[in-house]
A and B are shown apart, each in its own frame.
Chain A
Amino acid sequence: MNITAFTMKRRRDSHTHSSPMEKSDQFSIDKFYYQEISALTEAGGWSVDFKNKTSHFDHQARIILDVPKDYVPTLRSGYTFYAEEHLDRATEFFFGCAEGKPFSTEIKMQTYNGEIFWAIAKGKPLRDKSGEIIGIRGVFRKIDEQKKREQQLKQSLKLIEGHNSRLYDFAHIISHNLRSQVSNLQMCSALMDKSNLTNEQIELVDNFEKIGNSLDVTLQHLNKIVSVHNISSTKLEPVVIKEVYDRVVAGLSQDIRSSRAIMYTEFSEVEEVMYIEAYLESILQNLITNALRYKHPDRDPEITVFAYEENGKKYLMVRDNGLGIDLDKHGKDLFKLYKTFHGNKDALGLGLFLTRNEVQAMGGDITVESKLGKGSKFIVTLQ
């Protein structure tokens, strides 16, 4: 016999063999899962029949609402299971549904004993064969735990924001007051009449001046770092990456020309990003400056700046063919403050620290791949 005839026969057989026994087996399987799922998710079901003026709570609903064993729900008593402050809302949804509008909402409910809890409630109109609405059926799920955690999170966030704000003010005030004293120190040493001093004494006075200047510079760094926070509260706006890049490169044109650097760019994949423009400028400025500064003595620098998207995230990459970094040795110190590695006199050890601060303030991160003698690749996760 051929295959099609065989399968058709099978199908016909299964149809005639579909006994009430099998149907009820399927039903009890479904019922099992339904019961398990409703218990697992703490979700109950209810229905209201307009014609017969009856209401029904399923088993889980009765448990969640903590109703006594013999409790019979009615249309009117249904409302008592909503928290008073949300009663109007519940009524609105209910009547809307009776007119054909299904609902899905977060709402405050209460148990038979008046215990309030947050729930997600959904309702759909029940129609008869002719399409007329004869009742409503709905489900609801307790989300109290979730809601509580949400609120705790909000509170923690508020606390942390307040704390950060105070820290920023504190750092700002201290830095300001310190600068006042440093400026006095500098003024004092400037006033010193060195004409009647011995060489040794002159040297000491000069040291005072140098110390004052060092202090001043350190405080300026502190201010720079602290001000990263200040801008973070600025709103995000769509930033065109190429525009920022052009600006940065224009500012570095002298260095680019003198080092004979070739710049490659690719911004067609990701043209725009929701960011703080000042940050993107600062990040690009620092990474490109580094790429120029740490070029390899044997070859002209080739710097690639490339924006791309991967797995739904936007990235910015700056790659160079410069000196590279020994990541085994310096990897963990790379983004730390005041750590330099190449003995370059222009290097303050501030750039990457600030860059990472800025990147992280925007909710992203920065990673590096590098090979000593070959070059480096910095990848910034923009969002």
Chain B
Amino acid sequence: MNYPIKLACLIDDDDMYVSLLTKLIDIRKLAEEILVFKNGEEALNHFLSSFKDPQGQPVPQIILLDLNMPIMDGWGFLEELSKHDFPALNNCTLYIVSSSINPVDIERSKHFNLVKDFIVKPIGPNELIEIFSEAPTAP
């Protein structure tokens, strides 16, 4: 079975949203595996350790990042991640997926090279298919 994405990553604290999105991804067979983190800190710790260890865990091809999360929010995650230069990230497409329609947030997202685009929730099946097929395919 040819999935467009081998590993997708969801960083979001809304359990309901995560379960719905996971269902959608499964139904449409968009990704083989899904990695979930409840906040920026959890995600950051995982990536920092996996990037530093070349034999370590696989890097997701796509990351869907929420903005409003406890402990460390989306901005905090982006800022910390931006401090490092991980070549592995070149094969990863990161999208901010948020219910925020605040133009300030949208503007701010443009300052991060890591961010491919800002998607406003809800993300529908068609849009999901589009971004999953655009993201770099698994090596």
Interface residues of A (CB under 8 A from B): 172, 176-177, 179-180, 182-184, 186-188, 190-191, 220, 223
How many residues of B are in contact with the other chain, CB < 8 A? 18
Min CB–CB distance A165 → chain B (angstroms): 15
Q: Which B86-139 residues have C-beta < 8 A from chain A?
A: 99-102, 121-125
The interface residues of chain A, by DSSP majority, are classed as helix
Q: Is the CB of A191 within 8 A of B100?
A: no
Instruction: Name the CB-closest residue of B to A180.
Output: B99
Within the complex, the shortest CB–CB distance from A338 to chain B, in Å, comes to 20
Using a CB–CB distance below 8 Å, which chain B residues touch chain A? Answer: 14, 16-17, 20-21, 23-24, 27, 68, 99-102, 121-125
B21 near A179 (CB under 8 angstroms)? no
Among candidates B21, B100, B101, B102, residue contacting A187 with C-beta atoms closer than 8 Å: B21
Contact (A187, B24) CB under 8 Å given A179-B121, A180-B17, A180-B121: yes
How far, in whole Å, are A65 and B122 apart by their CA atoms in the complex? 72
Using Cβ atoms and an 8 Å threshold, which residues of chain B touch A188? 20
- Name 22 interchain pairs, CB-CB below 8 A, sorted by A: A172-B102, A176-B68, A176-B99, A177-B99, A179-B121, A180-B14, A180-B99, A182-B122, A183-B121, A183-B122, A184-B14, A184-B20, A184-B122, A187-B17, A187-B21, A187-B122, A187-B124, A190-B122, A190-B124, A190-B125, A191-B27, A223-B101
Number of A-B contacts (CB under 8 A): 44
A181 CA to B69 CA in the complex, in Å? 15
Q: Which residues of A contact B16 (CB under 8 A)?
A: 184
Chain A residue numbers with a CB within 8 Å of B125 are 190
Q: Which residues of B contact A223 (CB under 8 A)?
A: 101
List 3 tightest A-B contacts by C-beta distance, closest first: A183-B122, A183-B121, A179-B99
Q: How far is the CB of B5 from chain A (nearest CB, A)?
A: 19
A187 to B17, CA, bound (A): 8
Cα distance, A220 to B100, chains bound together (Å): 11
Q: CB-nearest residue of chain B relative to A224?
A: B101
Once bound together, how far apart are the Cα atoms of A211 and B23, in whole Å? Answer: 22
> Is the pair B24, A183 in contact by a Cβ cutoff of 8 Å?
no
